[in-house]
Chains A and B, each alone.
Chain A
Amino acid sequence: MTDILCKTKDLKITFPHRLGDFTAVHGFDMEVRRGEIVGLIGESGAGKSTIGNAIMGLLSHPGKVSGGRIDLEGQNLIDLTGAAMARLRGRRIGMIFQDPMTSLNPLMTVGDQLAESIALLQDLPMAQARQMAADRLDAVGIPDAVERMGQYPHEFSGGMRQRVVIALAMAGNPDLLIADEPTTALDVSVQKQVLDLIRSICVERSLGVILVTHDMGVIAETADRVYVMRHGRLVETGPTGQVIHAPSQQYTRDLIASIPSIESREERFRNPVKRTGEIDQWLLEGHRHEGTDDYVTASALTKDFATRKKTFWGTSGSFRAVDIPGLSIARGEVLGLVGESGSGKSTLGRMMIGLVQPSSGNVHYSDHGPLAEVRSRAARKALRRDVQVVFQDPYSSLNSRMRVDHILAEPIRFHGLAERADIPRLVGALLERVGLPPDTGRKFPHQFSGGQRQRICIARALSVRPRFLLCDEPTSALDVSIQAEMLALLMELRRSLGLTMLFVSHDLAVVRQVSDRVAVMKQGKIVECQDAEPLFDAPRNDYTRMLLDTAPRASGHKEANNLRSGI
């Protein structure tokens, strides 16, 4: 129990800058033992990845360790020369990165990359290394390992690639493995398999693992102990169960409280935005949006995309991204649309608001008629005024060359919704309505944080006084505490303005919090669609059940932890 593998003591990491150094990590203490998984959790900017990179000796320029120690079984890594540190990498410490798509050399076969590592790190002749490489691929759960050795990374799926990355990181039989957000780029069903693999390697080889992540669910299901970080400082540490169930610090309590639960719909997220009546009056002006009839109905909708297969005559072949018999959303309803990546949920969402042309079938709006027949300039303008969208990525969804007040004023002016002289006042009120100071309009988007930018996006969508809002993964790029605020804002707006919503997300817990009804998509088809509560509590479809079962949950650690408490 006491054989400490790796230990940091008062670790301090600084990034020098001409306008004052930025300290990413202030005096951090951590211990990792053999055979345990230590979770390192924090929101973006907490410094958690920096610690992993520092242990590897791979801090990005110009960062440097400016104080403290990193001990690996008694040896202080800080004192090592570059060459000595390089000898430890791969042999004593291994690392896996977040994105398996970009972690492998695209021009070398998987077998060559693995055999190369094994031959170099274990001083074996190439033939023997290749033999061992096949065994290793087999061991990380890649079927037909010998055959797949000769394939290139682009021929592997995301989950399979991450397995290859793990095999590569383990090629030199390291004692310590640093996993930096190893499952963030993966779908939940694959995520669980990769975490299980890391878990089993850890136990089998009595490996010490540092699991860096922002996801409390991942920590809860995998880590033995957890370190909670914020702004480069340690907030709290302890066994996973204790930290999650009885956090001693306010920050940890808030962090855990802001995680949406997949088990139930909660009303605990409060929207701190101050409401002013005047702007709501303006937003509701000129429309009647009452009743419970179907606001929008899709029927026999399909979308085909050309596959990128090059043939002699150009590109050919296609695959069906969306194929649904029908889907409707009632006035004032929030429909959640759930699916894994590539399920076609975003494409379906965009077809529903006319941003993507369907290959066949049509979308019918009760106020505007079939989308295919909305052709005239006036009719298109009227439709565009009613239907708006909020995207996932708050960075690419604002034009970085335009001032925020111009971004918000443009739609109002284009649709002639206010007198020219009133527009600046309206823009200020809109900003205030989404929780930003009204005078921030003079700034450019890059001067705002991710969450603030997402608020600006919501304000832009509201600026045309829409009735229907497509939210395409609106919280997926945000930290969990910001996500909670954003969900609260969206729900409050929906109630105050009577918006109809299509809420697209891969995150079941988020969808549960906002949706009246939920549709589950898999490979372009809707496998289940019913009211939210019965769908989550008693799913009828196997796929839905599988999604619900594999989703990591912060509260679900108990059994896993009890099992391991004897170790």
Chain B
Amino acid sequence: MGRIEMLERIRSDFWYELLNSPVTLASAIVIALMVIGCSFAPVFAPHTPFDPATISILDNNLPPAWAAGGDPRFLFGTDLQGRDVLSAMLYGGRISLLVGIGAVALSVVIGMTVGLLAGYFGRMTDTVLMRVAEIQFAFPPILIALLFNGILKASLPADVFAQAAVPIMILAIGLAGWVQFARIVRASAMVQRNQDYVTACHAIGLPTPTIILRHITPNILGPVLVLAMLQIAVAIVTEATLSFLGLGTPLTEPSLGALIQIGSQYLFSGIWWVVIFPGVMLLVMVVAFNLVADWVRDYLNPRLR
């Protein structure tokens, strides 16, 4: 009863819909906690997992704290080298989020530029840009990122590749993902371009950059926001997958995917916690982004409700 009364007093649709969807609310809180926890991993992590000075090989392969033989210092246990799994997860999550958000930011910038140009100017600009996009769209982003990374790995010296692993990853996933943004922005820009308010801008004589940036762009941000959240989830999965395949972050600085890869080698020795906890964290992170994105899409498009 209390909740319903509270809801009835809220007049803003946004907060009403959000509070009325506990799953979304929970997802948003999970995302917030993960972003804070991982961004400040050095503050929150109980150990410094990749500093050889602070880890002891004597602590290796400890099960979670609540299991038989667990050590209260290591909540989720330790791995083969005695590193604290929880701390490694926080540090790894930081890389996953950084790559996910960074790659999508890159995709958004490229995709919006291409989409706005193609959609607004049409004709040859549109044909040329969209042909390129169409060719790339035929290839799954994960394959493009994989080949891009693979080719760079083949052509760069190993130490350079390892050092620049995170930027390379952002570049690979970002370049693989721009087409979706370009398509959606182009479609929206074509609709907006023909709206009377844009014609009114022409009638007033406003210069083209003003029309595109001040008038059209704010009107197409909704679908871009939804896609960006979905794509962050995809980018995090892609990063984890590449790292799992050994093409991503180096083992000295493992992301969640790399942690799972390390752990998966010891599956048959019964050390399940090294895989399960990072795996669950990855899954929860991705599900949370997807759920929030779904909700935002429904909120922006109420007729589908």
Contacts and interface: CB of A to CB of B under 8 A. Distances in A.
A and B touching (C-beta < 8 Å)?
A: yes
Interface of A: 18-19, 350, 353, 355, 380-381, 383-385, 387-389, 391-393, 396-402, 410-411, 414-415, 457, 460-461, 464
B204 A399 contact: no
Interface stretch (B132-140, B166-174, B194-202, B252-260): B194-202
| Chain A CB within 10 Å, residue with most, of B7, B8, B205, B218 | B205
B131 interface: no
B196 A397 contact: yes
B200 A389 contact: yes
A391 B199 contact: yes
B154 interface: no
A384 B215 CA distance: 18
Contact of B203 (A353, A396, A400, A401): A353
Interface string B201-217: 01111100000000100
17 contacts: A19-B11, A350-B199, A355-B203, A383-B205, A385-B205, A388-B204, A389-B199, A389-B203, A391-B196, A393-B196, A396-B197, A398-B197, A401-B218, A411-B204, A415-B205, A460-B204, A461-B200
Nearest to A391: B196
Interface in B142-191: none
Contacts of A393: 196
A414 B196 contact: no
B96 to A, nearest CB: 33
Q: How large is the interface on B (under 10, 10 to 19, 20 to 34, 35 or more residues)?
A: 10 to 19
Nearest to B16: A18
Nearest to A384: B205
Contacts of B206: 410, 414
B81 interface: no
A391 B8 CA distance: 40
B202 A399 contact: no
Contacts of B203: 353, 355, 384, 387-389, 461
Interface in B215-248: 215, 218-219
Given A18-B8, A399-B218, A457-B200, 8 more contacts: A391-B196, A397-B196, A398-B197, A399-B197, A399-B219, A400-B219, A461-B203, A464-B204
Contacts of A460: 200, 204
A355 B199 contact: yes
Given A389-B199, A396-B196, A401 B204 contact: no
A396 B205 contact: no
A393 B196 CA distance: 8
Nearest to B195: A396
Interface string B76-115: 0000000000000000000000000000000000000000
A125 B197 CA distance: 54
Task: List the 10 closest pairs (A to B, CB-CB), nearest first.
Answer: A384-B205, A397-B196, A391-B196, A401-B218, A396-B195, A411-B204, A399-B197, A396-B196, A389-B203, A397-B197
Nearest to A463: B204
Contact of A381 (B196, B205, B218): B205
B204 A414 contact: yes
A269 B215 CA distance: 36
Contacts of A415: 204-205
Contacts of A385: 205
Nearest to A385: B205
A409 to B, nearest CB: 12
Given A19-B11, A400-B219, A384 B204 contact: yes
Contacts of B215: 399, 402
B94 to A, nearest CB: 35
A270 B51 CA distance: 84
Interface in B5-41: 7-8, 11, 16
Contacts of A355: 199, 202-203
